[in-house]
Amino acid sequence: MKLRLRTFLAATTGALLGVVVMSGIGTLRVDAKQTTAAPPVPNGTWFGIARSCTSPSRFPQPPNTVDQDICQQACGFAKVCPVTTFPVDEVTMMPELFADGSVVATDHATLVDGHPIGQGRWEPAGTAVVAGKTYQKISAAFMWFQPRQPQQVDSNFPFSRFGGMAHPRFVMFFDPANPDIMKGYLQPYLYSITDRFGIVNLQPGTPFPTPDPVQPLPDACDPTSTSDNPYCFGTFMFVIRRLQPR
């Protein structure tokens, strides 16, 4: 009887110790998961200002606002970016990147010409070395309906205000060690796709516009080629910061 009792107590004690040990291991695993930080990602809402890489203004850009190393990523290392032809020298903007690859963007020109928010896509594009430092490169593009200038609108045809599609190239350089600030460049293209009445011009025998704003953007941005359609207004360099929940 005593032998059976000792055997029962030993078995019970061993089982209890096993439960305690396994519980401890489970706790350690949970704690390890809780303390392992996820790698930084560029998702979120950003705010900043883009400025001409090569300004048409006779006044210099404010100090420390244009990083020519970023401009060279856009225009090549052997040349200076062509002078921009945008009506103003800066674009204040708020892009937002979503985890599913969607991107929306708005800028201060919506207050002037009334264009809507841009919508598009972003994706990782490998790495890039800027001024000797390696960054994660992010490529994005988005579009919005671009209105004509007031003097170009025929008051007898209200839809003549629809001039085409704006389609900027938007490239960012993300540093996981400094994840709340990004540098990059944008190149705004204008696709003039409508006639003077605001009716979309089509490629013959197709339902697709001409020129087609859904096709990949041209490789080079040359604002000196004023007859191009799509037309690129030049290269702008930006610094943006991520909005915080506080």
Q: What's the confidence (pLDDT) of residue 134?
A: 97
Q: Vertex 187, ends 172 and 113: CA angle to 5°?
A: 115
What one-character-per-residue DSSP string does 39-76 give?
A: PP---EEEEEEEEESS-SSSSPPPTTS--HHHHHHHH-
Q: What's the confidence (pLDDT) of residue 87?
A: 83
Integer Cα distance of 168 and 171 in angstroms: 10
pLDDT averaged per 10 residues, the chain (length 246): 44 44 44 69 97 88 92 87 90 97 96 94 97 97 96 94 98 97 98 97 98 96 95 97 95
What the block records as the tokens of 76 is: 């090549």
Q: Where are the domains of the chain?
A: 1-36, 44-242
| 242 CB-near residues (< 8 Å, 6+ apart) | 44, 45, 46, 179, 180, 181, 182
Q: What's the confidence (pLDDT) of residue 144?
A: 98
What global pTM score does this model have? 0.83
Integer Cα distance of 97 and 121 in angstroms: 8
Model pLDDT for residues 39-86, shown as the tens digit of each residue: 899 999 999 999 999 998 877 888 999 999 999 999 987 679 999 998
Q: What's the confidence (pLDDT) of residue 33?
A: 52
Strand partners, 134: 129
Q: What's the confidence (pLDDT) of residue 7?
A: 46
Whose structure tokens read 């008051």? Answer: 155
165: closest CA among 142, 185, 139?
142
Q: What's the confidence (pLDDT) of residue 34?
A: 57
Residue 26 DSSP SS3: helix
**Strand 162-166 to 169-174 pairing:** unpaired
